A and B are shown apart, each in its own frame.
Chain A
Amino acid sequence: MDAESDVALDILITNVVCVFRTRCHLNLRKIALEGANVIYKRDVGKVLMKLRKPRITATIWSSGKVICTGATSEEEAKFGARRLARSLQKLGFQVIFTDFKVVNVLAVCNMPFEIRLPEFTKNNRPHASYEPELHPAVCYRIKPLRATLQIFSTGSITVTGPNVKAVASAVEQIYPFVFESRKEIL
C-alpha cells in the first residue's frame, strides 16, 4: 500500500478559522440595524454576520476585530474576509483590511482500515491519551506542529492545526503509527 497516495486522497478540510482587524472602531448598533444578515448579541457585545456565498459566519467586535469561521479552504477564508470588510465599508466605516491570519484549520480523513485504540495508545505513550469513559477517540498531540488528531476506531481521523500544511504533514506523520495498529481484515 502506497502510503502517500492513500493519504493524499482522503483529506477533507471542513473548517478554516481566520481573524483580521479593521483598525477602526465599529458601531455595533448601526451594523445590527442596517445589516440584513446579522445577529446582535448585546449581552456579550458582538455581532454575528453570515455570508452566503462563501459560507462564512463572522463575529465582529466593536474594537474592530473580526473572526471568520466556516470556510472550506484558506483561499475561501481570505475571500470571505475581504467581502466582509467590503460590506462593512459600505455601511460607512473607514475599514482597513489588516492582520489577516488563518488561526485554525479542521480536517477530516478516512483510513481504509480500522484501528485498535488500546494498542495504539500503548505504543505512543506520551503523545496519545485515551479515556473511553470520557470520549471514544484517542487524542494524539504533535507538539512541534501544534496539531491535535482525534483517532477513532473506525479509521476516521479528525485533525486540527494552525494551517493546512501542518494538517497535511500531521496526517502523513501519523499514518505509519496508525498503520501498525490497524485491524487486519481476515
Chain B
Amino acid sequence: MPGGRVCAVCGGSEIEVDAARGDAVCTGCGSVLEDNIIVSEVQFVENSGGGSSAVGQFVSLDGAGKTPSLGGGFHVSLGKESRAQTLQNGKRQIHHLGNQLQLNQHCLDTAFNFFKMAVSKHLTRGRKMTHVIAACLYLVCRTEGTPHMLLDLSDLLQVNVYVLGKTFLLLARELCINAPAIDPCLYIPRFAHMLEFGDKNQKVSMTALRLLQRMKRDWMHTGRRPSGLCGAALLVAARMHDFRRTVKEVIRVVKVCESTLRKRLTEFEDTPTSQLTIDEFMKIDLEEECDPPSFTAGQRKLKIQELEKVLSKKLEDVEGEISSYQDEIENELENSRPKAKGVFANLTKDESIEDNSASVCGEEEAQDEELEAAANHLNKDFYNELLNKDRLKKNEGRDCKDGNDAPVWPPALESLLGPLPTAASLGITESIKECISTKDGDHNENAGDGELDLSGIDDTEIDRYILDETEAQIKAELWMKENADYLKEQKEKEARIAKEKELGIYKEHKPKKSAKKREPIQASTAGEAIEKMLEQKKISSKINYNVLKDLNSKGSSTPKKEDDSTDDSSNTKKLSRRKSTVSRNIANAVNSMGKRLRPLISAQLAKKAATEEAVFPHSQTEGPELEKPGNVLVESGPVSYNHDDEVEEEEIEEEDEHCMSALQLMGGNDYGCDMDDDDGY
C-alpha cells in the first residue's frame, strides 16, 4: 500500500492496489486511479519438465541499449535475439560434442568462452558452425593438455581433418591463443588403456614413455604425427613385456597407416638404441643423438653426388698420362669403321648411355673407365670444335638432334669406348644453349602503351604452334570424343530450358537460390502426410527412410544398409541394435507425438542418431574421401565409440522410456516397438 498517494476525486489516502488485477482503486469513492499497473515482480512459469523458470528475456551486454518496443520494433528485437540464439545454439552443440569426448565441465565452459570470442569477432561468418565448434573444443583440448587428437574430432563429425585443421589454425591465430605443441607422451596412457594391457598397464606405459623420449632425442619426432610415434613405441613396449599385440591392433587404436608404423619401426631400428637389450635399455641411456631420418636420406644423396664429382676429378688428373693411348686408338678406329652411320650412331649412343648409367660407381673397372673417360674428355674438345663449325654452317640449328646428327664419327667413337655419357651430353647441351640464347637477344622494356615488343620473339617457332586446317579438324574430333559426356549434359540442359520456355515455366537459374516455399501438405492420415513429405523434401542424412516408410506395415524390420566390411561383428551388432531402436524411436516420436515434442526429440535424438547413423551410411561414401588427403588414415568408426558406448547407452535408454510412456499416454499401439526384429537383418 503506497504511502503518500492521494485520490484525485475524493482526496482520501486509502488506496488499494490489487496486483492480480493490476489496478489501484480508492476505497473511499471507488474511482479507479490506475489501470494495468506495471509491476516489477518476478513471475514463474512451469516447464514441460516440471521445473519452474522465471519469465523474462535475456538482454545482451553487446546489444547497446536497443530496447524492443512493444509491437512495433519487431526487427530490432529479432536482431538481438539472433546473437543470443547463436550463442545458445553453440553452447548446446559444444556440450553435445564435449560429452562425446568426455570433457569435464570446466573445459566445456572454456570452450564456450572461446566460442563467444569467435562470434564477437565474426569468425563464424562463412564457416560451418560445426567446424567452428570443433575448433573451439580442440583449442581447449590443446591448452588443457587432454589426450584428444584432431583426428578424434574429425571422426565424430565425419569431416576432413585438414579442413578442421584450417579452421583451428585460423581461430588460434585470430584469438591470439598460443596452443602448446603436442607431446606424444600425452597419448600414451590413452592408447595403452585401449590396448588393454591389464595389470601391466603401468609398466608398459612407462617403457613406452622411455622409448618415446629416446625417439625424441634421436630426432625422429620432428615433423611427424605424434600418434605414429606412439604406436611404434607402444608396439615395441608391448613386445618387450611379452604381450602379443599385432600391428593391426595397434593401428586400429592409433589410427595411422600400416606402412607409417613400419617406417617408424625401421627408423628406430637404425638408431643405436635399438641394439641394446631390454635390460640394458632400462638402465642405460646412450649419450649420442641421431640425425632425423629424412636428413640422413638427403645426406646419402649428397654423398653420392660428391662421389661422382670426385671420380670425374680423378679422371681428369689421369688424363695427361693416357693421351698417347688415346691418339693411337682413335687412328685405328677411324681406319676400321665405315663412315655413314647417322641413325645407328644415335641408337648405339643411346644404348651405351643406358648401360653406363647403371655402372656409374663401379670401382672395380676403375682403370678402364678412367681410360674411357679420359678419351671422352679429349673427344669433348674435339666435339666442340666440330660444333663450332656447324654453328657457322647452319644458322637455325636449334634442335639438339640437328647438332648431334652432323658429326657422325665422334659419337660413334665414344659409343665404342663406352664413355661416361653425363659429361659429354652436358657439354653438348651447354654449348647449344649458348648458341640459342645469343640468338634470342636482349629483352627491352615494354612501352607503356601496351604495344607488344617483338624483339627476341621468333615468329617461326610460334608459327609452328598454329595448326592448319586438317590438323585443326582432327583435333576438334578428338576433343569432341574426349568431352562427349560434358557436351551431352549441355545439350540436355539446353533442351530442358527450351521446353520450359515453350511451356512458359522457364525460370532464370540463379546461382544462389533461396528456399522456395512449399505448399502445405494436405493428407488424411499421418502416414499419408509422411509419404507426401518424403517425396517433397530433400533427403536428410539423419533419418533412416526405410524405417519411416515401413511404419504402416507393422514394425516389420527394415534392414539398414549393411556395413559389415569395415567393422567387427560384435561392435556392429551392438551399435546397430541401438541405432535401430533409436531410429524406431524417431519414427515413433515423429508420428505419435505432437508438434511441440517433435522438435525437442528430433533435435536431441537426431543429433545422437546422426553421429551414429552418420558413421554407417557415410562410412562407405566417406571411405574413399578419407583416403584422398595426403596421409592415409585407417579410420574405423566404431572403435572410437567404444568408450562412448556407456555414455550413450544410458541416454538412449532414458529416451526410450520417455517415448514409451508418451506412446502409452497417447494410446497409439500401432507402432509397437518390436525388439525381436533387431537381429533379423
Contact = CB atoms under 8 A, between A and B. Distances in A.
Interface string B145-160: 0000111000000000
Interface in B435-462: 443, 446, 449-454, 456-457, 459, 461-462
B292 A114 contact: yes
Interface string A148-176: 00001111000000000000000000000
A140 interface: no
Interface in B165-204: 165, 168-169, 172-173, 176, 178, 181-182
B178 A134 contact: no
A132 B216 CA distance: 14
A154 B298 contact: yes
Interface string A93-135: 0011110100000000000001011100110011001111110
Given A114-B219, A153-B222, A90 B463 contact: yes
Contacts of B461: 53
A129 B454 contact: no
A33 B294 contact: no
Contacts of A2: none
A82 B457 contact: yes
B224 A91 contact: no
A55 B259 CA distance: 36
B457 A98 contact: no
Nearest to B164: A134
Contacts of A146: none
B162 interface: yes
B452 A36 contact: no
Interface stretch (B237-245, B467-475, B596-604): B467-475
B223 A153 contact: yes
A23 interface: yes
A91 B468 CA distance: 11
Interface residues of A, number: 49
A154 B467 CA distance: 48
Interface string A56-92: 0000000000000000000100110011011101110
B340 interface: no
Given A114-B292, A129-B169, A82 B453 contact: yes
Given A78-B443, A133-B150, A153-B223, A86 B454 contact: yes
Interface in B258-286: none
Contacts of A131: 165, 168-169
A75 B443 contact: yes
A127 B145 CA distance: 22
A4 interface: no
A12 interface: no
A34 B151 contact: no
B291 interface: yes
A37 interface: yes
Nearest to B453: A82
A5 B561 CA distance: 65
Contacts of A37: 465
B334 to A, nearest CB: 38
A153 B149 contact: no
A179 interface: no
Interface in A1-57: 23, 32-37, 40, 42-43, 53
Contacts of B450: 23, 96-98
Q: How large is the interface on B (under 10, 10 to 19, 20 to 34, 35 or more residues)?
A: 35 or more
Interface hub of A34, A35, A85 (most chain B Cβ within 10 A): A34
A134 B165 contact: yes
B289 interface: yes
B466 A90 contact: yes
Contact of B466 (A34, A116, A186): A34
A98 B165 CA distance: 40
Nearest to B178: A125
Contact of B181 (A85, A118, A137): A118
B292 A153 contact: yes
A127 to B, nearest CB: 10
A100 B450 CA distance: 9
Nearest to B149: A133
B479 interface: yes
A121 B182 CA distance: 12
Given A23-B450, A53-B461, A152-B223, A34 B472 contact: yes
B389 interface: no
B222 A117 contact: yes
B476 interface: yes
Interface in B207-238: 219, 222-227
Nearest to A113: B295
B321 interface: no
B486 interface: yes
Given A78-B443, A154-B298, A116 B222 contact: yes
Nearest to B176: A126
B443 A90 contact: no
Interface string B290-323: 0110110010000000000000000000000000
A122 B178 CA distance: 9
A132 B224 contact: yes
B256 to A, nearest CB: 11
B570 to A, nearest CB: 30
Contact of B459 (A90, A91, A117): A90
A132 B176 contact: no
Contact of B224 (A35, A87, A136): A136
- Residue among A37, A43, A53, A132 facing the most chain B CB atoms (10 A cut-off): A132
Contacts of A79: 443, 456
A36 B181 contact: no
B444 to A, nearest CB: 10
Contact of B292 (A42, A53, A118, A154): A154
B466 A134 contact: no
Contacts of A133: 149-151, 161, 165, 182, 225-227
A83 B165 contact: no
Interface string B475-512: 11001000100100000000000000000000000000
A137 B224 CA distance: 9
Contacts of B537: none
Contacts of A83: 457, 462
B288 interface: yes
Given A82-B457, A83-B457, A136-B223, A36 B466 contact: yes
Contacts of A186: 288-289
B394 interface: no
B401 interface: no
A186 B287 CA distance: 11
Contact of A132 (B223, B294, B452): B223
A97 B181 contact: no
Nearest to A130: B181
B182 to A, nearest CB: 6
Nearest to A83: B457
Given A90-B459, A96-B450, A100-B446, A134 B161 contact: yes
B127 interface: no
B150 A134 contact: yes
Contacts of A32: 475, 479
Given A133-B227, A134-B161, 13 more contacts: A36-B465, A82-B457, A85-B452, A91-B466, A114-B292, A126-B178, A129-B173, A131-B168, A132-B222, A133-B149, A152-B294, A153-B295, A154-B292
Q: Which 10 A-B pairs have the closest CB atoms?
A: A136-B223, A98-B450, A153-B222, A96-B450, A134-B165, A87-B462, A154-B295, A33-B472, A153-B223, A97-B452
26 contacts: A23-B450, A34-B472, A35-B465, A36-B466, A42-B483, A42-B486, A43-B486, A75-B443, A79-B456, A82-B452, A86-B452, A87-B465, A90-B462, A98-B450, A100-B446, A114-B295, A126-B176, A129-B172, A132-B182, A132-B224, A132-B225, A134-B165, A136-B223, A136-B224, A153-B292, A153-B295
